[in-house]
Structure 1
Amino acid sequence: MKRLIKYIILFVFVCVGNVTWAEEGERESSLFPDSSYVLRGPKADFLEKYRKDAAFDYTTNIEDSPSIWDWIKRWILERLFRIKVSEGSMQTMDIILKIVLGLFALGIVYLLVRNRDKFLFRRRETDFFPEDSVEYTGEQEADSFVRLLAKAEQENDYVLAIRVSYSALLQMLDKKEVIRWDVSKTNQHYIYEIKNEMWSRHFEEISRIFDCVCYGEFPVDETAYRNIKRYFTEFRKEVEG
């Protein structure tokens, strides 16, 4: 029985050894191919050929497409002036366009400032009309200030009554061409603009009262208002003759 076990163990070792030797033989045969196998490689100028081909050059910076500003300058040069586009002409057109746009912007600002009372600060209510404005805008007639003054006096709003009275004087002086009303002018401008020295002096006194009451918050009661109103009435009589 022991002899039989020995034979069996020996048989197993022989089988395992044959399998191992077969695997090593196959591994060696794969490492050492037969003589029919040829190792191929790229030609010497293979890489150089593709380096010189622009289609494979990924390091070149691609030019950005022209901006809208450059397109406008180019269009003006080529279509309007029939001038050949060059670096110098583009720079010159750039300066010209910036100057034109700057002047255009200044013109818009000037119009807005000059006409701000007409469309910038006008009330949106549907029942508002230009003649309802307390400040003189160059449009109102004398009747509108008479109506506003009567309403202010009826409500005992004496500060508003003085504002209306001063605007009415500006309207009267403007219509009689004693002054030339402009939204950008100050009261001091009108004082210097009045040629008659006595009228100019009296208007200066009225302007001082107007500034004290409307901007200096000078208190005005009924008695003070009646005294102030006399200055406006007498000045109007002087000018209207």
Structure 2
Amino acid sequence: MLNLIGIGFIWASSQLQPGDSLENRPKVVEFDKSIIGSYQADDDYDYFKYTEEESAWTKLQNWLNLQWSKFLDWVFSGVSEGNFWNYLALTLKILLILGLGVLIFWLFNKYYVVRQKSPPADQSQINLSEEERLIQKKDLSTLIEDAESEGDYRLASRYLFLNILKYLKTHHFIDYQFQKTNADYKSEITQQDIKSEFTFASRFYEFVWYGDFKLEVSDFKSAKTRFENLIDKIQKTRVHG
């Protein structure tokens, strides 16, 4: 053992070069400080990058993309296996999706049509150009008779109501303007008995025309009598008023 230690010491001593000393210090290397800035500006040497938080819109997009991927996986699951039952399931899924799409379209179309035919109470507005033209230029009595003879009591009721507006305008009970509503005309009538009858006439017209209700002959005859009596009252009130 001692022989080995001695041999190792002799070998190590032989490796020392002249001038070597344990007290020697390594030479300090000075870096060129002028190039430090260029390294700091290089993103490749930036090891402290921070990830910005995703916006709400980005999160929503990612969520939608995830749901869409899940949906496609559900629809086409098992198709790659080439099994008959998997293809049958795929066909049923497609039919289900198409059926739901048709149902949604039908419900939307029905809801939209109902909204078009059902304006709010006392806010039904005159059909601008057509009704203005009818009131000013057409012989409404002839139109009423023609519609009644054809059994179109809904259209006849429309002409009857327009005839009332025409007489109210002619005898200066209302200031007729096509953008006004029936509620506006009602507020302009000062005679209470005429205002009361006009309220009935406007409500009847709104239910029949905008509500698209089926009108029986007896109901039309009764309303026609009240409409004609209102026109007589308008004429007499202006003459004797």
- Provide TM-score, normalisation by structure 2: 0.43
Q: Which has the higher contact order (CA 8 A, sep 6+)?
A: 2
